[in-house]
């Protein structure tokens, strides 16, 4: 009997302890190291799959993203910045909601509805209204459309505590079907609408994406200030930490939830507008192309800080374009880049463990007895 008693008190080899005292530079060193390791793994896997040399895959990746930048050609760079802008705008839109612990998985649908409004304006009102009025109408309607799509789940969350993750998810598919309906209606039975010439954002200095990029840059700064220095931003973080605390200090939780989701949906709507009026001049069910989900990951990896989000989106878009290029040159399917993006994000998610927790190995027996 004595033997078994001793055995049951076997200590585990190590145990995990929470820590919150890691200095910020150390945390960022871990994240940076993870990114370096992740890039190394991506290069290794790409090289293995495409049967190229290790260095060659990276050079293909860089030329795929930046093109012939050093010869003074900036087309690819602008395209890169444009893709960052769109993904970043969605991530920024989601951030206030996430900070409030409202899992808005509906960026896809909100952006699609925000894109539907401009295309309707461009087709129906385009020939009738003068250009500046048309642009104003496009901006207002797309913001309203996105906000409506975002606020419906918020109303039910605020009053009945309806699960918002699934509600917003379902709203995506309803939006997709509405777009499919409209495209069939206007595309004359096909599933494409030809680019509309009215209500397009003007090109600045030969560059079609300039306005998109400036708009998103402005939103980034405003969002940073809003979350960090405004009263509303403070209310959002209190509601996110604890709804009971928020109620106790006199914050109207329902109002905050609804107001925040109006902002979140409206910004998604802006993204839709940038995609339709600023980029494609058309719409289809894949206009947002799953970026609404990637944006969730971006917002979280960016620690809800808009400026870190810029870095993270730049990284992910780089991988997306670069690895697609690598796969393309080897005649492989470009979904390879999706695998790599998923892998890198999983690594980054995993590395947070080493920032938030520390592993304590078993003490030697003498110490344990003390």
Partner 1 sequence: MIIQFICRAILLGVPLLYGSTGEIVTEKSGHLNLGIPGIMYVGAISGVVGSFIYENSCGNDIANMNPFLAVIIPLLCAIAGATLMGLLYSFLTVTLHANQNVTGLALTTLGIGLGNFLGASLINITKSELPSIALTKTSSFFSAKLPFADDLGWFGELFFSHDFLTYLAIVIALAVSFVLNRTRVGLNLRSVGENPATADAAGINVIKYRYLATCIGSAIAGLGGLQYVMAYASGVWSNNAFGDRGWMAIALVIFALWKPSMAIVGSFVFGALCNANNYIQGLGTETQELFKMLPYVVTIIVLIITSMRKKREHQPPANLGLNYFREER
**Closest distance between partner 1 and the C-beta of residue 296, in Å?**
6
Give the residue with the Cβ less far from partner 1, 177 or 232.
Answer: 177
Give the residue with the Cβ less far from partner 1, 74 or 237.
Answer: 237
Give the residue with the Cβ less far from partner 1, 62 or 156.
Answer: 156
Kindly report the number of other CB atoms within 10 A of residue 36's CB atom: 10
**Closest distance between partner 1 and the C-beta of residue 21, in Å?**
15
φ, ψ (nearest 5 deg) of residue 17: -125, 140
Give the residue with the Cβ less far from partner 1, 61 or 138.
Answer: 61
User: Given the rule CB under 8 A, which residues bind partner 1?
Assistant: 16-18, 103, 105, 156, 160-163, 165-167, 169-171, 173-174, 177-178, 180-181, 184-185, 189, 293-294, 296-297, 300-301, 331-333, 335-343, 345-346, 349-350, 352-353, 356-357
**Closest distance between partner 1 and the C-beta of residue 59, in Å?**
22
The CA distance from 215 to 202, in Å, is 13
Which bin fits 173, alpha (ψ -120 to 50), beta or left (φ > 0)? alpha
**Closest distance between partner 1 and the C-beta of residue 108, in Å?**
11
Which bin fits 201, alpha (ψ -120 to 50), beta or left (φ > 0)? beta
Bridge partners of 207, per DSSP, are 204
Max Cα distance, the chain (Å): 93
Q: How far is CA 5 from CA 2, 45, 108, 304, in A?
A: 5, 50, 58, 50
Give the residue with the Cβ less far from partner 1, 153 or 233.
Answer: 153
Strands (E), the chain: 14-18, 357-361
Give the residue with the Cβ less far from partner 1, 166 or 221.
Answer: 166
Helix (H) or strand (E) holding 165, with range, is helix 164-186
The CA distance from 269 to 92, in Å, is 12
**Closest distance between partner 1 and the C-beta of residue 311, in Å?**
17
**Closest distance between partner 1 and the C-beta of residue 345, in Å?**
4
Q: Which of 101, 78, 144, 112 is nearest to 317 (CA)?
A: 78
Please list the alpha-helical segments (H only) found in 161-248. Answer: 164-186, 210-229, 231-241, 243-248
**Closest distance between partner 1 and the C-beta of residue 102, in Å?**
12
Decide: 102 and 265 in contact? Cβ < 8 Å: no
Give the residue with the Cβ less far from partner 1, 198 or 336.
Answer: 336
């Amino acid at each position: 009997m004595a033997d078994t008693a001793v055995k049951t008190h076997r200590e585990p080899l190590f145990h995990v302890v929470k820590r919150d005292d890691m200095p910020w530079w150390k945390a960022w060193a871990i994240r940076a190291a993870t990114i370096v390791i992740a890039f190394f793994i991506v290069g290794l896997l790409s090289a293995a799959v495409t049967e190229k040399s290790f260095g060659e895959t990276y050079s293909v990746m860089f030329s795929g993203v930046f093109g012939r930048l050093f010869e003074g050609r900036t087309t690819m760079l602008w395209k890169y910045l444009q893709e960052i802008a769109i993904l970043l705008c969605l991530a920024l839109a989601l951030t206030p909601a996430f900070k409030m612990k409202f899992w808005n998985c509906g960026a896809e649908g909100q952006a699609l509805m925000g894109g539907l409004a401009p295309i309707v304006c461009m087709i129906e009102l385009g020939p009738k209204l003068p250009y500046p009025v048309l642009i104003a109408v496009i901006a207002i309607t797309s913001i309203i459309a996105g906000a409506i799509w975002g606020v419906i789940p918020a109303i039910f969350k605020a009053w009945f505590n309806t699960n918002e993750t699934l509600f917003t998810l379902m709203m995506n598919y309803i939006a997709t079907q509405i777009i499919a309906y409209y495209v069939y209606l206007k595309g004359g039975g096909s599933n494409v609408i030809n680019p509309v010439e009215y209500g397009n954002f003007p090109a600045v200095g030969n560059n079609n994406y300039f306005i998109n990029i400036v708009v998103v840059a402005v939103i980034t700064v405003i969002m940073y200030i809003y979350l960090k220095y405004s009263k509303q931003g403070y209310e959002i973080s209190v509601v996110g930490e604890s709804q009971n605390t928020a109620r106790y200090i006199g914050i109207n939780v329902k109002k905050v939830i609804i107001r925040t989701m109006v902002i979140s949906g409206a910004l998604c709507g802006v993204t839709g507008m940038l995609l339709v009026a600023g980029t494609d001049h058309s719409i289809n069910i894949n206009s947002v192309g799953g970026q609404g989900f990637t944006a969730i990951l971006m917002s979280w990896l960016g620690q809800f800080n808009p400026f870190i989000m810029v870095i993270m989106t730049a990284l992910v878009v780089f991988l997306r374009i670069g690895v697609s290029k690598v796969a393309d040159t080897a005649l492989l399917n470009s979904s390879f880049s999706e695998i790599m993006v998923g892998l890198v994000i999983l690594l980054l998610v995993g590395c947070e463990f080493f920032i938030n927790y520390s592993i304590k190995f078993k003490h030697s027996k003498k110490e344990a007895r003390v």
